[in-house]
């Protein structure tokens, strides 16, 4: 699968609503964030609390250009929680934290515009 940051790229192929429902996107609150200098591309290690049903999960996120470490704890983010864990260097990333590319291609986190309960599902 090829990911593009090009805002002029055409929409992806049409999928059925049932396919969309298979992707479990939840909101969580970042509990802690630390630098991950061993990553191939600049990244942070995040611990994100998705509430009692899912718990606290780890994520490697390439968000260093638009987000300072000190600003991340307490911030809500959206993530895909039902992909298999992925080994990122020495770190096992359990969820895919979601974001959009800015005009320069750097990632900006995607989050609700007001606080919602951890574990809330996108629909």
- The model's confidence at residue 2, banded by pLDDT at 50, 70 and 90, is very low
pLDDT at 3 (0 to 100): 54
Cα 28 from Cα 102, distance rounded (Å): 22
Each domain of the chain, given as residue ranges in start order, spans 23-109
In the chain, the percentage of residues whose pLDDT exceeds 70 is 96
11-23 pLDDT, tens digit each: 999 999 999 999 9
Q: What pLDDT does residue 8 have?
A: 78
pLDDT tens for each residue of 40-81: 899 999 999 999 999 999 999 999 999 999 999 999 999 999
* CATH architecture, domain 23-109: Beta Barrel (2.40)
- C-alpha–C-alpha distance, residues 20 and 67, integer Å: 29
Separation in Å, CA 94 to CA 20, 38, 47, 48, 84: 20, 18, 10, 10, 7
pTM of the model: 0.91
pLDDT the model gives residue 7: 77
């Amino acid at each position: 699968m090829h990911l593009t940051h090009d805002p002029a790229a055409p929409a992806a192929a049409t999928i059925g609503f049932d396919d969309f429902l298979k992707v479990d996107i939840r909101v969580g609150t970042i509990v802690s964030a630390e630098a991950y200098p061993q990553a191939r591309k600049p990244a942070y290690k995040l611990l994100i609390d998705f509430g009692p049903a899912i718990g606290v999960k780890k994520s490697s996120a390439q968000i260093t250009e638009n987000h300072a470490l000190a600003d991340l704890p307490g911030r809500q983010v959206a993530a895909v929680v039902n992909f298999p864990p992925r080994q990122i260097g020495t770190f096992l990333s359990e969820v895919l934290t979601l974001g959009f590319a800015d005009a320069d291609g750097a990632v900006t986190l995607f989050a609700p515009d007001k606080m919602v309960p951890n574990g809330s599902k996108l629909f």
